[in-house]
Amino acid sequence: MSETKSAVVLFSGGLDSTTLLAKALAEGYRTYALSFDYGQRHKSELNAALTLSKSMGAEDHKVISLDLRAIGGSALTDPLIEVPEGASEGIPVTYVPARNTVFLSIAMGYAEVLCAHSIFIGVNAVDYSGYPDCRPEYIQAFQQMADLATKESVEGQSIRIETPLIDLSKAEIIRLGMGLGVDYKKTVSCYQANAQGIACGKCDSCRLRREGFDAAGVSDPTPYI
């Protein structure tokens, strides 16, 4: 195929989506990173994301402002809900209602404007089994909806949702990224990193990250508070 394929990559600057961006680049895609400023508690992830995407070779990087605080309902968007420390049972309070659906929808609009035929999203059904919108059956249903939703779909071309991390453990994601040259020191996964982007080391996301490096047999390069 002589024409370069284009992809929108949902990219937060965290461990998973940085591996995802590296994977899309390694597969030869011209990549368009897409991040959201959705009323998270800190902007350090977003700043890390902008620096990373540029150094990794993304074609462009758009940040969409979307104030999900107006609807609330999650520890990540509502200052009245505490971010829990350690593992939680069932659907965690850090779950943001409909977040992946909202992000995928906007990515679909961006892909339509770019005439890109792929959207990469770093959902993971292993570590995030508590999130309904990380399940493979959810992604399949989104794909079916996307096949009917866009101008391209009317004109006979659809947008593929790519989820290369969906079946990988955190350790497998880290090994994949190491093989692709990802510098994990520059990625921020923490739900409540401080203003300098230093991770707390205690929240669910930090715990999964620590355990992942441990299981991968790789020394964790993350600076913690």
Residues that bind a copy of itself in the complex, under the rule CB under 8 A: 62-68, 70-73, 91, 95-102, 104-106, 108-110, 112-113, 132-133, 135, 137-138, 141-142, 144-151, 153-154
Nearer to a copy of itself, 107 or 193 (CB): 107
The span from the CA of 193 to the CA of 197, in Å, is 5
What 3-state class would DSSP assign to 32?
strand
Nearer to a copy of itself, 102 or 200 (CB): 102
Nearer to a copy of itself, 130 or 201 (CB): 130
Closest approach of a copy of itself to the CB of residue 117, in Å: 14
The span from the CA of 42 to the CA of 47, in Å, is 10
For residue 88, the tally of other CB atoms under 10 A from its CB is 13
Nearer to a copy of itself, 145 or 200 (CB): 145
Closest approach of a copy of itself to the CB of residue 225, in Å: 30
Nearer to a copy of itself, 128 or 213 (CB): 128
Closest approach of a copy of itself to the CB of residue 189, in Å: 22
Nearer to a copy of itself, 12 or 100 (CB): 100
Residue 77 one-letter amino acid:
T
Closest approach of a copy of itself to the CB of residue 122, in Å: 17
Burial 116-132 (b: 16+ CB within 10 A, else e): bbbbbbbbbbbbbeebe
At 17, list the tokens: 């989506």
Tell which residue, 50, 10, 13, 1, has the closest CA to residue 184. Answer: 13
Tell which residue, 74, 30, 138, has the closest CA to residue 21. Answer: 30
Closest approach of a copy of itself to the CB of residue 170, in Å: 22
Cβ-contact 83, 54 below 8 angstroms: no
Closest approach of a copy of itself to the CB of residue 49, in Å: 15
The span from the CA of 117 to the CA of 119, in Å, is 7
What sign results for the dihedral spanned by CA atoms 86, 91, 93, 99?
positive
